[in-house]
Amino acid sequence: MRHLAAALLCCALLACALLVGSPNRAEAQTATDQAIVEESRSWIGTPYGAYGLTYSGFTSMVYGEFGVSLPGDPASQYSYGVPSSGEAGDLVFFDEHGYGISHVGIATGYGMVIHSSTYYGAVVETPIEYIPGYVGAVDPY
């Protein structure tokens, strides 16, 4: 009877491991997301347009540091990767004027986003609700 209980426990643990996935993968993803946020923050204060830092130029530059080559405009970037809930390190998209996706930034968590802003004239971190027309988020990594 004890052997049967041990075998069942072993099977249950194996099933949990398969469902949850590798802990190393989860830790690596978290580390990468944090690194993306840190890289984004290193650009705060850079004037809009400097070094090609328009909104989509900014996101392309940050993700390029991690080997991800994003398309050049926000609408194309929205089609890249997989839809997400806007976790830290994900791209977040906006339709500011009602004509389609017009702006993109990088979520930092807790409802904040880093983006290259024409309004502020620089790369800034602001609450996501300060940008009108939230459309959704994508995890391009």
Instruction: Break the chain into its structural domains and give their ranges.
Output: 27-139
Mean pLDDT of the 123-128 span = 97
Mean pLDDT of the 71-88 span = 93
pLDDT the model gives residue 30:
58
H helices present in 42-90, as ranges: 55-64, 74-78
State how far the Cα of 24 lies from the Cα of 65, in Å rounded to an integer. Answer: 22
| Pairing verdict, β 122-127 and 112-117 | antiparallel
Q: What is the pTM of this model?
A: 0.78
* CATH 3.30.2350.10 is held by the domain 27-139: no
pLDDT tens string 21-75: 333 333 334 568 999 999 999 999 999 999 889 999 999 999 999 999 999 899 9
Share of the chain above pLDDT 70, in %: 78
pLDDT the model gives residue 23:
34
In sequence order, the 6+-apart residues with CB closer than 8 A to the CB of 26 are none
